[in-house]
Amino acid sequence: MSHEIVMLGVTSFVTLFVIMDPPGVVPVFLALTARMNREERIRAARQATLVALGVILVFTLFGRSIMDFLHVSVPAFQASGGLLLLLVALELLTGKAEEPKPTAGGVNVALVPLGTPLLAGPGAIVASMLAVENSDRSLAAWAVIFVAIILVHVCLYLAMRFSTVIHRALGTGGVTVLTRLAGLLLAAIAVQLIADGVMGFVATM
């Protein structure tokens, strides 16, 4: 496997991981499932993960077709995607990301708002589509992108499945620190995407 393919997989995993933020999901998940028992909470974690995975895979597979239909160029998508990810990063850095309020709707909260848009939100969707756009679309590239997506969702499931243990171990302060670090890393990735988009525009002039 070439160095470029390996880096594509690593970049895809890191980008999605910091956007979907498994440690940061823990307190939100606990709030949304506050009225559930242990079995319902495990089921909610599984459902939320599957919903998010389904949404991300759909846009990963068909995102280019959507772009072609809308006549959106790759540099334009990179620049706009970078701006969107930068906004997400700023929310993580400032702690202003909205957290849904607890509901009494049973495991349905696993579908909305937990599965989407909280997990599979605009930032994660754009990141998955950008991973494809930045690849050579070979079989190996598709394989590492899918593996990266699945690994991130495994991390999400484990974070929600063992949310009480993680929250007890890290504490509110630990989760906050991890969220800020994730925001800083995502901001750097976003700026690079914007720069790539601008360079793409310049190259076509």
**Average pLDDT, integer, range 138-156:** 97
Nearest to residue 110, comparing CAs of 173, 41, 64? 41
What is the rounded CA–CA span in Å between residue 150 and residue 147? 5
Could you tell me the residue range of the domain that residue 141 belongs to? 3-203
What is the total count of domains within the chain?
A: 1
| The predicted structure's pLDDT at residue 204 | 79
Percent of the chain predicted with pLDDT > 70? 94
φ and ψ at 134, to 5 degrees? -90, 5
| The predicted structure's pLDDT at residue 107 | 42
**Average pLDDT, integer, range 118-126:** 86
| The predicted structure's pLDDT at residue 159 | 96
What is the rounded CA–CA span in Å between residue 136 and residue 25? 32
Res. 100: pLDDT tops 80: no
Report the alpha-carbon angle 162-168-169, nearest 5: 90
Res. 61: pLDDT tops 90: yes
Res. 9: pLDDT tops 50: yes
